[in-house]
Amino acid sequence: MALTGPDLLAKVKELGNASKSDLVRACGYLSSKKDGSERLNFTAFYEALLEAKGVSLGDGGGNGKGQGARSLSYIAKVQGNGNLLVGMAYTGLLGLKPGDEFEIKLGKKQIRLIPVGASDDED
C-alpha cells in the first residue's frame, strides 16, 4: 500500500539521502509489469508528495493532464483574435485562483508573468 500524507512525509524524511528509486520503492509506489518485473511509479509518488506538502494540483487530479486526460504540451498558440490563452490545467498546477494578479514584463519575443508583490527574480 502506497504511503500518503504525514506518513509519506515521515518516510521520506526518515530515508534522507536514499536514491529516488529507493524512496519510491520504500513508500510503496510500485506495480508489476506483465512480465512480473517491478515498475516504479515516480509520477504518482511525486504527486502524493506534493499533496502531502499541501500543494494542490488543481481540480483535474493534478496529473499533468488537461481536459479529456490529454498530456499537457507546455506550448501555447496566439489565437486568431490575438489572445494568448494559458489554460486551467496550467493555472491549476501552479495553484492559481481567480483574481490572482500578475505584472506583465515584455522582452524580445517573450512575455513574463510575475505575481503582483513578488520580486522579478523569484521562480
DSSP letters spanning 1-62: ----HHHHHHHHHHHTT--HHHHHHHTT-EEE-TTS-EEE-HHHHHHHHHHHTT----TT-S
Residue 79 in contact with residue 85, Cβ under 8 Å? yes
Specify the pLDDT at position 122: 56
Q: Give pLDDT tens digits for 94-112.
A: 888 888 999 999 999 899 9
In this prediction the pTM is 0.47
Bridge partner residues of 24 (DSSP):
none
Q: Give pLDDT tens digits for 9-21.
A: 999 999 988 899 9
**DSSP helix/strand/coil, 69:** helix
With a CB cutoff of 8 Å and minimum separation 6, the contacts of 5 are 51, 52
Average the pLDDT over each of 58-62, 86-90, 107-111, 119-123 and give the range with the smallest value: 58-62
